[in-house]
Structure 1
Amino acid sequence: MFTSYADALDWIHSRLKLGIKPGLRRMEWMMERLGHPERNIKSIHVGGTNGKGSTVSYMRAVLQEAGYQVGTFTSPYIEQFNERISVNGVPITNEEMVTLANQIKPLVEELEQTDLGSPTEFEVITAMSFYYFGKLNPVDFVLYEVGLGGRFDSTNIIHPVLSVITTIGLDHMAILGDTIEQISFEKAGIIKSGVPIIAGVQQEEAIEVIAKTANQKMARLYLVNREFSVLNCQSTAEGEFFTYQSERTTYEDLFITMKGSHQVLNASLAVKAIEYLNTYLSVQVDEVHIRAGLEKMYWIGRFEKIQDKPTVIIDGAHNREGIRELVKTVNVHLVNQPITVIFSALEDKPLDEMVTQLDEIAESIIYTSFDFPRATSAEKLYSMQPLEKAKAVEDFKEAIDEELTNIDHVIVITGSLYFISQVRQYLKEINKKENM
């Protein structure tokens, strides 16, 4: 039995060495032993390549404005591990985490002795979330973010009231496949029989796969630019204005403080989800709640300005699609400003393509690294893209310290979300010391 939070967390993290093990049988075994807590949860399932966390946060913020208790399960974390399981945006307590670990650990030890083998870290934390929301702390809705793929993701044992697929991109190709069609097939695995699906995908090949799956499962498909759309987008220094339009309603001049056209898409998916809940599940969310929730939503690590003089922006653009959206956002919101990019990512990403895109906006690029098992070294990044305006600094803290002395540029720090988590913590420590 764990008596401290540190011991419980160490045990959970020790399972990272098991890597990724797609499949649902271990989850089903644990749920059977726990009395199927996942069946007590009214859930919304969110999958896709990018935008899952933001879409979940928009939905949570709007439902919360309307007075609902909303649980979320997201990954990875930025500030603290507990935020992966939250209620109304507040992470569960250390004491609750210890209780959950003590509940799941005996099952894990028993499961390890079977032919199914040891559950991974993600499977453990997913099982903990099911027990928390299904047994310990029931709420009105729980928004579940898929970890990887969809079809064999640990979260895919739930039967939600609604499913959402945000976007499709070429990521995790070693596991999900190397074409849009193959990846779309895996993402579409969250579509359940008779459960409606809202999708923000725009590639024809992705739409074809998702529409085919939805038809086979007799699941109503609500597709962006077909059943609902975004109009009159306008970027300002404060954020984005847009109009949401569907066959049922029109909301003019909605506003979000999160910057970028991709955030407008994420917000529109959330609005469509709320519209569905209002129409078919007797949820009471008014226009005032939608407007307030969208405006108040704030998702750290996504084009987040940490400080001024110099301006420092961090963005968890962890794949080629994320970098593409970051470049578009910089070109709109940081026009004609000199940009220094500090970049690090995981070794299984298309690093050369990501750096090539960053080259479009960067006056200078610093390759760096961070403390994580799959992090790429700065020298490897430089060897792949030895640009004249680039250099390698292995210690990201050293790279940041050096660039903070120059107030005449904007520092954009981007790459892996695990990298952004460590960077954000370091920058907060710097700012705290300066303000003492």
Structure 2
Amino acid sequence: MTGRPDAAAQEAARSLELRKRMREVEEEILARAPENDVGPSLERIAAVMELAGDPQRAYPVIHVTGTNGKTSTSRMIDAILGEAGLATGRFTSPHLHDVRERITLAGKPIPREKFLAAYADVAPLIDIVDARSLESGGRRMNFFEVLVAVAYAAFADAPVDVAVVEVGLGGTWDATNVADGQVAVVTPVDLDHTHLLGDDVEAIAREKSGIVKADAAVVAGEQPEEVVAVLRERAEEVGASLAVQGRDYGVLSREVALGGQVVSVRGLAGEYRDLLLPLHGAHQAANLATAVAATEAFLGGGSQALDGDVLAAACAAMTSPGRLEVVRRSPTVLVDAAHNPHGARSLVAALAEAFTFTRLVGLVGIVADKDAATILEVLEPALDHVVVTRSSSPRALAPERLGELATEVFGEGRVTVVPNLPDALEQAVTLAEEEGLGGGVVATGSVITAGEVRMLLGRTDT
């Protein structure tokens, strides 16, 4: 006699079907132009949003741009707002392991069912816009534009009380910029993507300042004066307010602690003492100060202090996967997503402050369009040896070429080239253990390198 499948079997079958459909959708999206293949136009994403009823207008937005610290700061803002009782959505990029990490609800990756539902809502509209664009000699929406459309639809459907949205690239022409941020956050600006954004920090800042909309509150992290001048000009142009770290808010003190640091910050409306932050580095303390100021600007217009207990609880639970993260012990293996000289400098400073290694080996894989030579020069004083390799990204710099650059910086005796990443990780661990206990490995150079090393060591949590 055959009975009906029990509830557990039905749920397992449903889960399997969701995973299968998710893989199919990912393949559809990945078949599009990559996210770094961009052009100066919001026409396509704006058209899809209009056809969808402009879901990005259904909730307030905190919009985050900058060169480094965007994802960490976005996660911190999300954590504080969530602890304060708000239903949050967060959009960040790139992802470490799963595309759903880019779109979160209540701090967790969007469930497959909700991702697929949002995609089903916008896919026919994307097809319409693609067809119109191709007819007029244009192009289809790229990978990133599609994910932005999915995110904004998912946030409206949830619904969320607020969305924390990180730009993908730049600001003015970034697909996320079809939303108007009530608060615009600008993390530290430095040289990156110069072939797309400009050759100096002033030009890059001008591009990023495009997220600043009328009557917004602008919260800017530590910046060169020329960047502050650009932001001030933009704020005056659109009637926005401007708060700058070091002048209007900032880090009051910080002390290294087990597993992180104890930080005191001054926000726009209050001071918050002895916050336990389980993240390493002065740059993360600075990111926290910016997150606090941005949250104050959103919740109380910058004039109302946050609840101290709420903030302390949010800080204690903060994570930033792939950012100076310990993913193995004995020997210690760290991963860090530093992919430009500014990020590498923050990494080196944090390593010196928070870790003591008898021997530190770098495992480095860098994307071809990055300033690999300068990144290696910044890393050199911190590393005893470097193993150069490549991630699975088609944009990864060839290990042989990266090895040539590394040899120019480190000297021949301190460089090992291992093209295969798993083998490179094994080699780096072996080299770290050569002199006994106390050695360590830091895997860095790109988000993809950090993510793939995490996965090789069994870490997929985000």
Task: Give CA-to-partner distance per residue, 1:367-403, whole Å, 9 cap, x none.
Answer: 1012111101111101123122011110110011233
Distance 1:247 1:199, change over 3 A: closer
What's the CA shift for 1:79?
2.7
Q: Tell whether 2:61 aligns with 1:5.
A: no
Query: How far 1:339 sits from its partner (Å)?
Result: 0.5
Q: Say whether 1:159 aligns with 2:180.
A: yes
CA shift digits 1:151-182 (9 cap, x unpaired):
11000111122110011010000000010100
Distance apart, 1:280 and its partner CA: 2.7
Give the residue type in structure 2 aligned to 1:241: V
Q: Distance in 2 between matches of 1:313 and 1:125?
A: 30
CA contact (8 A) 2:270 2:306 kept: no
CA distance in structure 1 between the partners assigned to 2:105 and 2:385 by the alignment: 41
Q: Is the aligned partner of 1:105 residue 2:123?
A: yes
* Gapped regions of structure 2 (runs ≥ 5): 1-17
How do 1:21-420 residues align onto structure 2 when only pairs under 5 Å count? 21-114=39-132, 115=136, 116-134=138-156, 136-246=157-267, 248-280=269-301, 285-335=306-356, 337-386=358-407, 387-388=411-412, 389-405=414-430, 406=433, 408=437, 409-420=439-450
* Alpha-carbon separation, structure 2, partners of 1:316 and 1:429: 15
Say what the alpha-carbon RMSD is for the aligned residues: 1.9
1:3-25 CA distances to partner (integer Å, 9 max, x unpaired)?
81111110011114572233211
| Cα distance change of structure 1 residues 98 and 361 upon mapping to structure 2, 3 Å threshold | same
| TM-score, normalisation: structure 2 | 0.89
| Distance change (3 Å), C-alpha of 1:236 and 1:285 | closer
Task: Write the distance in 1 (CA, Å) between the matches of 2:71 and 2:231.
Answer: 21
Distance 2:459 2:70 in 1: 28
State the TM-score, normalizing by the size of structure 1: 0.94
Tell me the distance in 2 between the aligned counterparts of 1:337 and 1:327.
15
Q: Distance in 2 between matches of 1:61 and 1:283?
A: 18
Structure 1 residue aligned with 2:32, among 15, 20, 24?
15
Q: 1:105, CA displacement in angstroms?
A: 2.3
Compared CA separation, residues 17 and 239, structure 1 to 2 (3 A) = closer
Cα distance, 1:101 vs. partner? Answer: 2.4
Alignment-mate amino acid for residue 419 of structure 2: E
CA distance in 1, matches of 2:428, 2:442: 11
- Identify which range, 17-26 or 294-303, moves more after superposition: 17-26
Shift of 1:78: 1.2
Tell which deviates more after alignment, 331-340 or 183-192: 331-340
**Which segment is superposed worse, 70-79 or 247-256?**
247-256
Shift of 1:299: 1.1
CA distance in 1, matches of 2:66, 2:207: 10
Structure 1 residues 211-258: Cα deviation after superposition (integer angstroms, max 9, x where no partner): 111111110001111111211222233312222124632212222111
Residues 212 and 249 of structure 1, relative CA distance in 2, 3 Å threshold: same
Paired AA for residue 66 in structure 2: G
For 1:319 and 1:237, the matched residues in 2 are separated by 28
Task: Go from structure 1 to structure 2 and tell me whether the alpha carbon gap of 1:109 and 1:314 turns closer, same or farther (over 3 Å shift).
Answer: same
Q: What secondary structure is seen at the aligned counterpart in 2 of 1:274?
A: helix
Letter in 2 for 1:399: A
Shift of 1:283: 8.7
- Partner of residue 457 from structure 2, selected from 424, 427, 433: 427
Q: Structure 1 stretches (4+) deviating beyond 4 angstroms?
A: 281-285
> Does the 8 Å CA contact 1:341/1:362 hold for their aligned counterparts?
yes
Q: Is the 8 A contact 2:388 2:402 kept in 1?
A: yes
